[in-house]
A and B are shown apart, each in its own frame.
Chain A
Amino acid sequence: MKIAITSTGNTPESSLDSRFGRCSYFVIYDTELKSTEYIPNPNKESLEGAGIASAKFVASRGVEKVVSGEFGFKVKELFDSLKIELIIIKEEKKPVTEIIGLLNKNL
């Protein structure tokens, strides 16, 4: 299963980006391969609809879960219709590596 995590940087030590649509990086974590891929968010500076474009971006990569600090209401609806699960983490400085650890523990 693939999971997207919004990140402020492109290293495992980077912390969670609390914004979904305009996060700096998407981390695509594959739970079977235990692989991580860091992709810069092309919609970070988008004038309008960054959330929609980012939802499309992660959904087309086949993720089944998305982890971020918060999601807008338009995006929530779209993920619902795609049956993609949203996980909200409110600890702002949490490093990506710790989030991956938690995801592995809860599998």
Chain B
Amino acid sequence: MRIAIASGKGGTGKTLISTNLFYVLKETGNDVTLADCDAEEPNSAAFFNCIKLSAKEVVQKTPVIDQNLCTYCGKCEEYCSYNAIFLVKERKLIKVMEDLCHGCGACSYACTYGAITEKENSLGEVIRFNHPSDLDTGRDSLIVEGRMRIGAYTPVPIIKAAVREAGTGVRESGTGNKGVINEAFVILDSPPGTSCPFIHTVSSADFVLLVTEPTPFGVSDLKISVSILRKLNKPFAVIVNRAGLGSRDVYDYLSKENIRLAMEIPFDREIAGIYSEGGIVAAKKDDLRKKFEKLAYSITEQKFNN
């Protein structure tokens, strides 16, 4: 089962939830992988003293146009949906705008003069880490991280690669005895916002936990996230972080829209302190451990999926 932890607004606590949920699911004996899909600034692995196992480069193909073979017919430009081919027929100028290219290959397909070949550009990498507690058990990679190359135009291909990587070597559910939890979980720590990076992360999830805070920005961005998840037909629930701050607006919105509140985390300086030092609050505070165990139980017992 794949659970995406997402939010419209940045800084609501996605990584706090992801790392703590990962920790608690592992501690309670589940087979779980954490995939950090926030490829522009991944940091989930920093919360665990993990060992880097491997790194795979993520490449994208971009066209190279041979000006000697090009007739400036404009077919490649017509096929390009991303304005990545700049052509001024009158001036016999053609250029590939690599930053805008999505690597779809339509231009190479369109060219009937053999003027377009493709080269590979690096966008970033997908790194596998092992959680320290698994070194002795010999279990495979438990933390996967997408990391974008500085200056790369889009993190989406890296996110897709990270999600794929997190799915490999994970046991599928349903093989255990009745009553025995034997399902493999993948936690996807989503990038903030509601554009392509968010959509590509949540679209591969079975269930989404939206993290918000009781502030005007938190509520506003939650509404946008909810409208997208409803369009995608994704089941979801909401976590309110920094509860006690701001107003009751977020709760009024949740009850009006009949959205399930999965958990609340209080606005507490101690929690912020532990987190900012790279600690796992569920390992250090009993009340938080209980909250996350309850959340993990709801997930493993599929309490949210109705």
Contact = CB atoms under 8 A, between A and B. Distances in A.
A39 to B, nearest CB: 17
A52 B84 CA distance: 8
The A interface, classified by DSSP as helix, strand, loop or mixed, is helix
A59 B87 CA distance: 9
B95 A49 contact: no
B93 interface: yes
Contact of A49 (B82, B87, B89, B90): B82
A82 B88 contact: yes
B87 A74 contact: no
B100 interface: yes
B88 A60 contact: yes
Interface string B62-94: 000000000000000000001110111111010
B99 A74 contact: yes
A52 B86 contact: yes
A103 interface: no
Contacts of A82: 88, 91, 93
Interface residues of B, number: 14
Interface of A: 43, 46, 48-50, 52-53, 55-56, 59-60, 62, 74, 78, 81-82
- 4 smallest A-B Cβ distances: which pairs? A49-B83, A49-B100, A59-B88, A52-B83
18 contacts: A43-B83, A48-B83, A49-B82, A49-B100, A50-B83, A52-B83, A52-B100, A59-B88, A59-B93, A60-B89, A60-B90, A62-B90, A74-B97, A78-B86, A81-B93, A81-B95, A82-B88, A82-B93
Given A52-B83, A74-B97, 20 more contacts: A46-B83, A48-B82, A48-B100, A49-B83, A49-B84, A49-B97, A49-B100, A50-B83, A52-B84, A52-B86, A52-B100, A53-B83, A56-B86, A56-B88, A59-B88, A59-B93, A62-B90, A78-B86, A82-B88, A82-B91
